[in-house]
Chain A
Amino acid sequence: MKFSGKIWVLTTPEGRLVDDIDTDMIFHNRYLAETDIGKMGQYALDNLEGWEDFANRTRPGDILIAGKNFGAGSSRQQAVDCFRSLKISLLIAESFGAIYKRNAINSAFPILEAPGIGGAGFQTGDVVDVDSETGAIRSERNVLFQGLSFSKVQVDILSADGLFQYAREMEK
């Protein structure tokens, strides 16, 4: 699959990529009663210092870049669904928390691992092209970084549009 969009690089005020962004920073537990995915987007990242107004600034199709262990913590599905709600097209991180990774893949939300991307020189506002088959990430300013390609299981579930739809296809 090919992705193209404007990027948001989740950095500290000093410009360092933020590691260990946990599920409470992504989707705080005070909103857990929310079950309507259409309403989840407004809360995305509003508990991450410096990124409280992210939901108002992002546009459908945007791509996010984050640091190590993104999505650590609880198993809440809303921490994935809030980005689906905002129509974020792709989430790139140095690495993901294990449960977050499963939740994202199972719900057919595209995530890509790119260990070391923090030092590559991508900046918020750049437009990048990503090829999930090769893992190549290239910006219009010609910054190039090699991430990891999607796994086969991830592609299978993505093309079926979710784990349960994939189960239906397995039965055919």
Chain B
Amino acid sequence: MGHTVIEKIFMNHSSDEVKPGHVIWLDIDTRSARDFGGPNVVKRLESVYGEDVQLADPSRTFFTFDCVVPANNIPYANNQQLCRVFARNKGIKVYDVDSGIGSHVAVEKGLCWPGSIYVGTDSHLNILGAVGCFGQGMGDADIAFAFKTGRTWFEVPETIKVEFMGEAYQYPVTAKDLTLWTLRHLGSRGALGCAIEFTGDMIDSLSMHERITLSSMVTEMGGIIGFIQPSEEILAHFRKVTGNENVSMPLADHDAEYKRVEQIDISDLKPQIACPPKPDNVMDVKEAVGGQVDAVFIGSCTNGRVEDFHAAARIFSRYPVHEGVMVKAVPATKGVFGQLLADGTISTLYNAGVIISNPGCGGCASGQIGMTGKGEVQISTSNRNFRGKQGDGDTYLASPVVAAVCAVTGRITDPVAFLEEEERR
């Protein structure tokens, strides 16, 4: 019997028998902790092993501060400093408060690579499935153990194969619409406890940022991780940043056993929107139009790449932000911010009336770039719209294009209809 992608990655990192349902020990390539969870990891290590605790491999251990960056309250400032001092003493590299979202830093800097295993305290680390890496968020006890031993245990999940049928989408439809459409099909428990392999002709044509968007919402589908087979372009990136010419993700065998195969037709895909208060409460934007919009957020680990801001800038270069709408933009990383500065996108956003913040998890975590008040309606490019996550208001999830169109009209607006009407003028 053949093996799925996750089984093959596990086989390369374990001496135990890899079979769905079996609990096995894994050797981890990389482990990290954020400013959220990180201090607990440090305190736990020091309480169990004392201050002179020896770590399995400091060179493969990292801190990535992205939650409250820079710290806007004293407890977080203390926690970050506690991690910095620990890191200094142990020879661990810190990607500090200027760096951006840890999972994206991992992709850019090559802390992870196709076929590798990466664990940390961010529950969206499974986003790394986008580049063929097994990424997983865990609690502080698990991550402290990983820091100490370089190992973790995991129950081998079954895999669901998702095959996308039909032609690739065209602007103004984007990867976020594909993602929400998939969530609409699978529902919030559709992949419960399972890995996903995303396949289909159109998948191969997706670039890095589109893959990141799709894999970033597997958590919202109840899944463990969603793998996409890396393209040559992605392999070339990782070969360059890791210096390892042999980087590759193992492929599923032709006779691999899947829990089930889901076929999702994406021909005629329309812009999608997830209405509050659940990410799987998805409909075509044209069914949701009309309501007033008070705030817009563009960024997050789901839609914080250069191309996401370019998509929004296509709208903002022609139309200013509507009077009274607060539009907030947060690039995923320092690298993304730098590119947007160099190519003029930041000026375009600024001139249209957008608030621009330093990189990080600002839009979702701890209200670094503002939260919504009761009754306030926000269109967000992030991945969760649960009540209270981004404030007391109502959050809708949508693509950067939908978000930008809503920002300039001040209403929930279908970009297809908006652009057609503008053409006619």
Interface positions of A (Cβ within 8 A of B): 75, 77, 98-99, 101-103, 105-107, 151-154, 163-164, 167, 170
Contacts and interface: CB of A to CB of B under 8 A. Distances in A.
Given A98-B193, A153-B25, A154-B23, A77 B149 contact: no
Contacts of B224: 98
A153 B23 contact: yes
Contacts of A154: 23
A102 B142 contact: yes
Contacts of B141: 77, 103, 106-107, 163-164
Contacts of B355: none
22 contacts: A75-B139, A77-B139, A98-B193, A98-B224, A101-B155, A102-B138, A102-B142, A103-B139, A103-B141, A106-B141, A151-B23, A151-B155, A153-B23, A153-B25, A154-B23, A163-B141, A164-B48, A164-B145, A167-B145, A167-B148, A170-B149, A170-B151
Interface string B1-28: 0000000000000001000001111000
A103 B141 CA distance: 8
B153 interface: yes
Contacts, number: 41
A151 B22 contact: yes
A98 B223 CA distance: 11
Interface of B: 16, 22-25, 48-49, 138-139, 141-142, 144-145, 148-149, 151, 153, 155, 193, 224
Contacts of A99: 139
Contacts of B49: 164
Nearest to B153: A153
Contacts of A106: 141-142, 145
A147 to B, nearest CB: 14
Nearest to B17: A152
Contact of B149 (A75, A98, A151, A167): A167
Nearest to A171: B149
